[in-house]
Chain A
């Protein structure tokens, strides 16, 4: 088979299409150059180069279809197929001739811009602009070219093949957004690029399409298309994409959005028994899907964090660090009233600037009782001996009430306090310097079995010790741990599993056994985040993720995702709620399953600060 003849034939066959595409792609740069010339700046194009080459993928598809259409007309097809033509070689030549021609056409605006700017633009042009932006449309063009070529080999109708090729191209480009493809690990092994899936798709698709085209041509595959069916399939595909797309951005039903008339402060939602306390001021009721607030006490216009309400948290010469922070509270609802607990740590500061040091010297566990008017301190326990390492840039603390025991972690120490009567705190157990061994596990810990130290404290049931150990281990290494009202541990039939999330996705670990000192865990399954999920709110493991009633809730400032974790094998996403403009400040899952969110929104910039609006959202928990 004479290759030169085929190349000549192919170029002759394509020349009119190439000229047409060249005309289309050069319109914008040439027009800009003419406008510049008329304005007296010189004949050069800069701004329109990139928009012009963005047409490249569309034109590449057209060239691909024109490339083989001349040979695939049924009667002409028989003509050349009946000759002793090596089909694979013929199709390969046609493919690459068309591809090179497409790339040359796409390169024309860039060359035009570079040349005209070199000669007629005194300021020149930033070449890095091209190096940065040009590769992407070229890669996409290679993909669309290959897809349209392969489609045309099979469909044998130019317009339909172009349409199908473009649809497949769009689908492949959207796919990584909407499917939890677990190839991030694979990609990250070979390149440090978060958009690796795209590169993989852009490189693998042309190769696959080319091989497919060769095979289809060799075996004379001919897909007879029906325009009506095609349109229905296209519409179905678009609908499916839209459904998948919407399921990843906002498919959790909003039952009510209620604007709250306040000026500032932490929008906390705290559990008090079966009820939710909002901003330490009001109970929230959600009967008939309507949010209503009822004040739990009269505090006048006070909106400061309530530790200031306590008459005795201040010590002269010391600064105060309290836990829980940011307006959060640990409540215990008893027959004798509503109590809250706080850890107050006192420190001195020496030095200034970067060399400043904090010396923690005193720590107290305090209980407060709601009196109807205010929170009154009712008991205080000096736990300063927990401060084994007194020089510390910050204090880490964690608290949880288990039955009538309050477990508190302060830096590396742990205490258990009897809170049967919150007005009379009794130290039950204490362990110092035991939390140093604790290190966080992450999404990456998926290859080998690992162990977590079992907290060696008395008076707590083993199951709760296991839960506490895992929760403490999760992120206590970095700072406070808000384990007082949430847990990442799920217990079903005495089997413990726990969940964590980071930028990559949600992962489930199973507790496989335990002994007196350690809990042994192993990776079980994972649900990687799609690119779209990552873009609409990368979930970081420092955020407050938690498990409740067989669901894993994971959130950051703008996003809430709910996953079904009841299956041992699969973590299934149930819903997604996104408010990119808003800040989700707190979340609570109600007894009836609905979800409460407190949300803030910066509206306009006034008097050196943003005016902020606050909302409460009542969401239907997805099933």
Chain B
């Protein structure tokens, strides 16, 4: 069994009467790059804040590197690197000053490594933070998250606000850096094409619950779309694993999860003639999970 870097068990959280997390359960394997997907406002940042011990859950617990993030908060924060979405730092500080300031919080800060990172990310050390571009700002935040060589890195929508080129550039740096060090990366985003090339595991959060967690490749293999012309007597209502059904003229496209040979032959049996099987990208899979109609609107 794979060892977990992060374990979330039955996490519930509310802002006043509004319940944001409704029992989130998640295992992040050690050494993985874990994509945490969800639409805006589904609770990704709330989950991460709770994970960092910044807010107290109503129920449930988070274990990071074997430590409870709420009772052993400081130790957890020493061991992880965190980069928040659209992170703002002290504008009046120079890069070298803010590195020194952040280093003061970590007993094992690696100044040499931080210098290497600054050089690699192209950060001019005497420049004031307020003078940095958005891309440089994100790079600096990344540097400050990694300077103490953490085992686990949590990135909350790190490329928010960057242009497409800067995003790709930034991600390339991140992945290069982290993969080479065997670090576990927990990476939240709503931009799926960003996660697809880098994440080896993903979880989809929707309306406060995890609706799917799997290896990325496995997910791609198991979710399929079939386009067919159904027989008049075809009945999809009892069919397990339908994520989305779309009727276009005489044809129907059906997106199915956990697809195997048995399901394929069942669907084929309902078709008048031959059917087409389509492999989906992560974007389409996410869409099927999050806004798919589960066959409820099916009227064949």
A26 and B153 alpha carbons, distance in the complex (Å): 51
Q: Quick one: closest B residue to A85, CB to CB?
A: B105
| B82 and A220 form a contact (CB under 8 A) | no
Residues of B within 8 A of A (CB): 49, 52, 54-55, 74-75, 77-78, 82, 84, 86-90, 92-93, 100-106, 141
| B84 and A9 form a contact (CB under 8 A) | no
| A9 and B88 form a contact (CB under 8 A) | no
Q: Which residues of B contact A78 (CB under 8 A)?
A: 49, 54, 84, 87
| A75 and B104 form a contact (CB under 8 A) | no
How many pairs of residues, A versus B, come closer than 8 Å at their CB atoms? 56
- B-contact 0/1 string along A36-61, CB 8 Å cutoff: 00000000000000000000000000
Q: Quick one: closest A residue to B81, CB to CB?
A: A82
> In whole Å, how far is A101's beta carbon from the nearest beta carbon of chain B?
17
Question: Which residues in chain A, 175-224, are within 8 Å of chain B measured between CB atoms?
Answer: 220
Report if A234 contacts B (CB, 8 A).
no
In the complex, given contacts A1-B104, A6-B104, A76-B89, what are 16 additional A-B residue pairs having Cβ atoms less than 8 angstroms apart? A2-B105, A6-B101, A9-B101, A13-B92, A75-B84, A75-B87, A76-B88, A78-B54, A79-B141, A82-B77, A82-B82, A83-B77, A84-B74, A84-B75, A85-B105, A220-B55
| B89 and A81 form a contact (CB under 8 A) | no
Report if A606 contacts B (CB, 8 A).
no
Q: Which residues of B contact A2 (CB under 8 A)?
A: 103-105
Residues of A within 8 A of B (CB): 1-2, 5-6, 9, 12-13, 70, 73, 75-76, 78-79, 81-86, 220
Q: Quick one: closest A residue to B145, CB to CB?
A: A82
| B92 and A12 form a contact (CB under 8 A) | yes
Q: Quick one: closest B residue to A4, CB to CB?
A: B104
| B100 and A73 form a contact (CB under 8 A) | no
Q: Quick one: closest B residue to A6, CB to CB?
A: B104
A84 and B67 alpha carbons, distance in the complex (Å): 14
| A81 and B88 form a contact (CB under 8 A) | no
Q: Which residues of A contact B78 (CB under 8 A)?
A: 84
Interface of B is mostly: loop
A84 and B100 alpha carbons, distance in the complex (Å): 14
| B106 and A81 form a contact (CB under 8 A) | no
Q: Quick one: closest A residue to B54, CB to CB?
A: A81
Q: Which residues of A contact B55 (CB under 8 A)?
A: 220
| A5 and B74 form a contact (CB under 8 A) | no
Which 8 A-B residue pairings sit nearest by Cβ, starting from the closest? A2-B104, A5-B104, A75-B88, A84-B77, A82-B82, A84-B78, A83-B105, A78-B84
15 pairs, A vs B, C-beta closer than 8 Å:
A5-B100, A5-B101, A6-B101, A6-B104, A9-B93, A9-B101, A13-B92, A73-B88, A78-B54, A79-B87, A79-B88, A79-B141, A81-B52, A82-B52, A83-B106
Q: Which residues of B contact A12 (CB under 8 A)?
A: 92-93
| B88 and A220 form a contact (CB under 8 A) | no
Say which residue of B77, B86, B90, B106 sits within 8 Å of A9 (CB atoms). B90
Question: Which of B52, B101, B141 has its CB near the most chain A CB atoms (within 10 A)?
Answer: B101
Q: Quick one: closest B residue to A86, CB to CB?
A: B74
A56 and B107 alpha carbons, distance in the complex (Å): 40
Q: Quick one: closest B residue to A71, CB to CB?
A: B90
Q: With A2-B104, A5-B100, A5-B104 as known contacts, state yes or no: A79 contacts B84, CB within 8 Å.
A: yes
Q: Quick one: closest B residue to A78, CB to CB?
A: B84
Q: Quick one: closest A residue to B79, CB to CB?
A: A84
Q: Which residues of A contact B86 (CB under 8 A)?
A: 75
Q: Quick one: closest A residue to B45, CB to CB?
A: A78
Question: Which of B75, B77, B78, B105 has its CB near the most chain A CB atoms (within 10 A)?
Answer: B105
Q: With A78-B87, A82-B52, A83-B77 as known contacts, state yes or no: A1 contacts B105, CB within 8 Å.
A: yes
| A76 and B90 form a contact (CB under 8 A) | yes
> In whole Å, how far is A263's beta carbon from the nearest beta carbon of chain B?
74
Q: Quick one: closest B residue to A219, CB to CB?
A: B56
A70 and B98 alpha carbons, distance in the complex (Å): 14
| B89 and A79 form a contact (CB under 8 A) | yes
Q: Which residues of A contact B75 (CB under 8 A)?
A: 84
Q: Which residues of A contact B93 (CB under 8 A)?
A: 9, 12
Say which residue of A13, A70, A220 sits within 8 Å of B54 (CB atoms). A220
> In whole Å, how far is B9's beta carbon from the nearest beta carbon of chain A?
22
Q: Which residues of B contact A1 (CB under 8 A)?
A: 104-105
Q: Quick one: closest B residue to A5, CB to CB?
A: B104
Q: Which residues of B contact A79 (CB under 8 A)?
A: 84, 87-89, 141
Q: Which residues of B contact A220 (CB under 8 A)?
A: 54-55
Q: Which residues of A contact B88 (CB under 8 A)?
A: 73, 75-76, 79
| B104 and A82 form a contact (CB under 8 A) | no
| A83 and B90 form a contact (CB under 8 A) | no
A1 and B104 alpha carbons, distance in the complex (Å): 5
Q: Quick one: closest A residue to B73, CB to CB?
A: A84
Q: Which residues of A contact B77 (CB under 8 A)?
A: 82-84
Say which residue of A13, A70, A73, A82 sits within 8 Å of B84 (CB atoms). A82
Q: Which residues of A contact B104 (CB under 8 A)?
A: 1-2, 5-6
A76 and B74 alpha carbons, distance in the complex (Å): 18
A73 and B89 alpha carbons, distance in the complex (Å): 10
> In whole Å, how far is B147's beta carbon from the nearest beta carbon of chain A?
11
> In whole Å, how far is B265's beta carbon from the nearest beta carbon of chain A?
51
> In whole Å, how far is A362's beta carbon from the nearest beta carbon of chain B?
87
Q: Quick one: closest B residue to A83, CB to CB?
A: B105
A2 and B107 alpha carbons, distance in the complex (Å): 9
A13 and B129 alpha carbons, distance in the complex (Å): 14
> In whole Å, how far is B68's beta carbon from the nearest beta carbon of chain A?
15
Q: Quick one: closest B residue to A16, CB to CB?
A: B92
| B52 and A13 form a contact (CB under 8 A) | no
Q: Quick one: closest A residue to B56, CB to CB?
A: A219
> In whole Å, how far is B159's beta carbon from the nearest beta carbon of chain A?
15
| B102 and A83 form a contact (CB under 8 A) | yes
A2 and B84 alpha carbons, distance in the complex (Å): 23
A66 and B2 alpha carbons, distance in the complex (Å): 49
Q: Which residues of B contact A5 (CB under 8 A)?
A: 100-101, 104
A45 and B217 alpha carbons, distance in the complex (Å): 80
Question: Which of A6, A73, A75, A84 has its CB near the most chain B CB atoms (within 10 A)?
Answer: A84
A485 and B203 alpha carbons, distance in the complex (Å): 91
Q: Quick one: closest B residue to A82, CB to CB?
A: B82
A126 and B141 alpha carbons, distance in the complex (Å): 57
Say which residue of B52, B90, B102, B103 sits within 8 Å of A70 (CB atoms). B90
Q: With A82-B84, A84-B77 as known contacts, state yes or no: A13 contacts B90, CB within 8 Å.
A: yes
Q: Which residues of B contact A82 (CB under 8 A)?
A: 52, 54, 77, 82, 84
Q: Quick one: closest A residue to B92, CB to CB?
A: A12
Q: Which residues of B contact A81 (CB under 8 A)?
A: 52, 54
Q: Which residues of A contact B106 (CB under 8 A)?
A: 83-84
Q: Which residues of B contact A85 (CB under 8 A)?
A: 105
> In whole Å, how far is A81's beta carbon from the nearest beta carbon of chain B?
6
Q: Quick one: closest A residue to B84, CB to CB?
A: A78
Question: Which of A76, A79, A82, A83 has its CB near the most chain B CB atoms (within 10 A)?
Answer: A82
Q: Quick one: closest B residue to A15, CB to CB?
A: B92
Q: Quick one: closest A residue to B55, CB to CB?
A: A220
> In whole Å, how far is B272's beta carbon from the nearest beta carbon of chain A?
57
> In whole Å, how far is B144's beta carbon from the nearest beta carbon of chain A?
8
> In whole Å, how far is B299's beta carbon from the nearest beta carbon of chain A?
47
